[in-house]
């Protein structure tokens, strides 16, 4: 197997129950672009040492405004933008290790995006693949550009 990039998608469990997802991040994260979506985002946080636990508010099928720092896969996106959320777990801000940076958040302070400071690994808590995230295609294009740039360096 020799992928150019990996997307770790949503799922109905916790990172500790996510099967091969965590192993994929551990094995490929240092040398291949990885995008984690929802559970994939939580797995990224968990693998690198952040705490993932019950969110203060369950968000299933609700949109939120997402603020961001304009880096990585969020480059060129409006700030803020509307995104659909389906999750009951969250990565906790006070547990973020030095190797990760918070890239996106809600007005309530819930982490909506993370990226590794050295590896090409990024995660989003919201769902860019949904029609209810209008900038989703642009975010996914940014990830594909990251993959293309990484494989042609």
Among all residues, which ones are annotated catalytic? Answer: 38, 127, 129
* Chain-centroid distance, C-alpha 19: 18
CA distance 26 to 73: 20
Q: Which residues contact 153 (CB under 8 A, 6 or more apart)?
A: none
Buried-state track 104-126, b at ≥16 Cβ within 10 A, e below 16: bbbeeebbbbbbbeebbbbbbbb
Cα gap 143→33, rounded to integer Å: 8
Residues paired with 54 in a beta bridge: 89
Residue closest to 126 by CA, chosen among 152, 96, 103, 93 = 103
Q: Minimal CA–CA distance to 90: which of 22, 15, 35?
A: 15
């Amino acid at each position: 197997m020799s992928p150019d990039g990996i997307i770790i998608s949503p799922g109905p469990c916790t990172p500790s129950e996510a099967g091969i997802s965590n192993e994929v991040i551990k094995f490929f994260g240092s040398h291949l672009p990885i995008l984690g979506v929802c559970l994939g985002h939580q797995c990224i946080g968990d693998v690198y040492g952040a705490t993932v636990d019950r969110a203060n508010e369950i968000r299933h099928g609700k949109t939120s405004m997402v603020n961001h720092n304009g880096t990585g896969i969020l480059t060129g996106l409006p700030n803020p933008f509307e995104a659909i959320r389906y999750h009951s777990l969250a990565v906790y801000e006070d547990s973020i290790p030095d190797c990760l940076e918070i890239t996106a958040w809600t007005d309530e302070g819930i982490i909506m995006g993370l990226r590794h400071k050295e590896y090409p690994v990024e995660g989003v808590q919201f769902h860019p693949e949904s029609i209810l995230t209008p900038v989703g295609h642009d975010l996914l294009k940014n990830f594909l550009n990251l993959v293309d740039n990484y494989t042609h360096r």
